Amino acid sequence: MSRKVIVIGGGVAGMSAAHELVERGFEVEIFDKHRLYVGGKARSVNVPSSNILNAQKHLPGEHGFRFFPGFYTHIVDTMKRIPFGNQPQGVFDNLVEVDHVGIYQAGKRGIFAIVNFPNSFADIKSTIGTLHADTGLTSEEKHFFATKIWQLMTTCYDRRLSEYEKIGWWEFMEADRFSDTYRALLVQGITRTLVAANAKKASTRTDGDILLQLLFNMTNPGKHTDRVFNGPTNDVWLTPWLTYLQEKGVKYTFNHTAKKLEIANGSITGVWVETHNNGKPEKTLATADYYILAVPIEVAAELISKDILKSDPSLENIIKLAPSVAWMNGIQLYLSDVIDVVHGHCLYADSPWALTSISQLQFWKDYDMEDRYNGKVKSILSIDISNWEDDGILYYDVPDISTGGTLKVKKQARHCTYAEIKNEVWAQLKASINVDGKVILRDEHLIHWYIDHDITVSKQGEDKNKEPLLVNTVDSWSLRPEVNTRIPNLFLASDYVRTSTDLATMEGANEAARRAVNFIIDASGVNAGKCQLWNLHEPNILKPLRNRDQKRYNQGLPYEFYVPFGLKLLEYITKFFLKLFGK
């Protein structure tokens, strides 16, 4: 017997849930507040007014660039089941590998490191060159950082959850003990690459687990640490996904915002959705057997009413968790020259606004740029701004009320106009890339730009963000809900629920959706296979050391730093060859 499921939210979580449900015979309807684009924060967009030469060709813009680490398993499994032309693995085959990462500090020469396991002599030389790069770090800082990474690798899972969840990453890495360079590169810089993390707020468990996944990918010859799409996200993933879902029978309803969940006798009886016709709001009550709430945390909090809390008081934790969001939005810069400084992402370690970027067209080999905008765009720099609350480097004239004159002040990103955001980002990029007398970024190259229009600029100078991002904070696991609630037909599928991924990512959203669908299968009694789930993988070679710490944890003893003799011998051999190559 068919069962109907209403999915509230058309982002990655909502589409993932619909995908798994419709393939198992459920009737599915998605309500999405957006008018034009699927995929929520993962979407790409047509840049307004950029179709100057050809009405059908816009410049591509986006909320922020995409990043698919090698440890992602759930989302890539779904991608392999989304048809795309004759590609054997569907849209998954649109992912391409990234080779390097560029690390910049203002006024210093960039450092370029490979991100995958070395597979050639050139890669080995590149790795050794990186180790000898002038990072500005002291020997003590490098050694201390290495010991902390080893500690994470050899700590048992129970200690991570009970102890490290309650310790901030900044505190664990003892950031205040060391230099600004240490903090910029090894404490803050690493968390920025994780995107949804803040070094001063994130727990050691969250940052540590994801950092280890990246490091394990780098040492695994069969893994690619960093992958990106070969075109705009909607073109090569989200639009084909929507087409597949609709062909399978999913009803995808745009421009409908969930306003209220109706509940009676402890179960959800419907959801009121609102749309606008000719500027007038219209509300409709939509009903189903089961409901999946697949919206961001701050939206979910608004739907948790007093009546809902009577049936499941624990859902109040969603309301408590809702303020734990931050601004992490993107800007795209369109240049008239080819600027591919590295075949991968760039991290601007000491940039005040915590910038990361990627030059996209080098990965979009078959993307047609002819006749887009003025026909002269040769590079698209997509930049994420992860810190909207610190001052930039430019000065602006503001009225001085006391004297009637003006003051020169720096501005936070969230107080800037669109043009000021563009100018500031451009200035910070030039400060990091144009060094040693080499001018790579030239003002005349910048011919257009687009800022994510989730950011709205107010006349009062206090910008608004329609779609902030959840950031995991210290000891927030206790507030994170499970996907199933005490309301028997209401399930949660978003990146704020408890998952093994434990980070606000597309991977976490997809995993949450799978977990929600598995509970619906059980609740409905439908004869269907469960969605496959994976835990984060850690090498078996470290298992004896984790077991050693598990025994100490069970005895109430603290972590003890321990390196087996065999690994110490390997360390001495490695140092010998580093010195040899260093000459």
* Domains, in order of start, for the chain: 4-35+72-95+234-324+474-524 (3.50.50.60), 136-225+539-582 (no CATH), 326-463 (no CATH)
Statement: residue 146 has pLDDT above 90 = no
- Whether the CB-CB separation of 305 and 261 falls below 8 Å is answered with yes
Q: How many Cβ atoms are within 10 Å of 543's Cβ, its own excluded?
A: 12
Tell me the percentage of the chain whose pLDDT exceeds 90. 66
Q: What tens digit of pLDDT does each residue of 524-550 get?
A: 999 999 999 999 888 898 999 999 999
- CA gap 524, 304 in Å, rounded: 24
- CA gap 192, 95 in Å, rounded: 22
- Whether the CB-CB separation of 436 and 387 falls below 8 Å is answered with no
Q: What tens digit of pLDDT does each residue of 175-217 get?
A: 999 998 898 888 887 666 555 567 788 899 988 998 888 888 8
pLDDT attached to residue 120 = 54
pLDDT attached to residue 275 = 93
Q: What tens digit of pLDDT does each residue of 227-245 get?
A: 999 999 999 999 999 999 9
Statement: residue 101 has pLDDT above 60 = yes
Instruction: Name the amino acid, one letter, at 485.
Output: T
Q: How many Cβ atoms are within 10 Å of 44's Cβ, its own excluded?
A: 25
Statement: residue 321 has pLDDT above 60 = yes
Six token digits for residue 533: 């789930």
Look at residues 301, 297, 311 and name the one whose alpha carbon lies nearest to residue 269: 311
Tell me the percentage of the chain whose pLDDT exceeds 70. 92
Six token digits for residue 294: 């697949």
pLDDT attached to residue 583 = 40
Mean pLDDT, all residues of the chain: 90
E runs forming strands in 417-487: 446-451, 455-456, 464-465, 469-470
pLDDT attached to residue 100 = 85
Q: Reduce the DSSP state of residue 175 to 3 states and report it.
A: helix
Mean pLDDT of 103-113: 87
pLDDT attached to residue 273 = 96
Statement: residue 129 has pLDDT above 90 = no
Q: What tens digit of pLDDT does each residue of 389-433 get?
A: 999 999 998 887 788 788 889 999 999 999 999 999 999 999 999
- CA gap 307, 203 in Å, rounded: 33
Mean pLDDT of 110-114: 82
